[in-house]
Amino acid sequence: MQNGDVASRLKIYISSTDKYEHAPLYEAIVYAARKNGIAGATVTRGIMGYGTSSKVYTTKLWELSEKTPLIVEIIDKKEKVENLLELLKPLFEKSGKGHIITIEDTRVAIHRTGRKPNEPYF
């Protein structure tokens, strides 16, 4: 991706307790993104939220909750994001949990890789 490119942002709303096989679902998503050459992925932990169950989860000092909302954000070219989403669909089906996934168009303002020239991704 270059500065000024139009890209897609995939946002995946899940819970910190969601699993894929025996690992956290968010880890499976991030590793799948990396394996498929996606430009970047970030997992953000929410401090409060609710989903389809309408049960509110929060992380207050006096309420230590294992279950908190997470957002996984992935940004890359539209085709790569759509291909990744197709690869991820079985993970969500197997997790058996509620989630919501959105895709938005975005514009890359600044993109610096942090890698040295000719340094491989992996």
Question: Tell me: the pLDDT tens digits for 43-67?
Answer: 999 887 877 777 777 766 555 557 7
**pLDDT of the residue at 76:** 94
Mean pLDDT, all residues of the chain: 85
Does some domain include residue 45?
yes
Q: Residues 6 or more apart from 74 whose CB is under 8 A from it?
A: 9, 10, 12, 29, 33, 38, 40, 41, 81, 84
Does some domain include residue 82?
yes
Question: Tell me: the pLDDT tens digits for 10-26?
Answer: 999 998 889 898 899 99
**pLDDT of the residue at 84:** 97
Residue 79's domain comprises 6-107
CATH of the domain at 98: 3.30.70.120
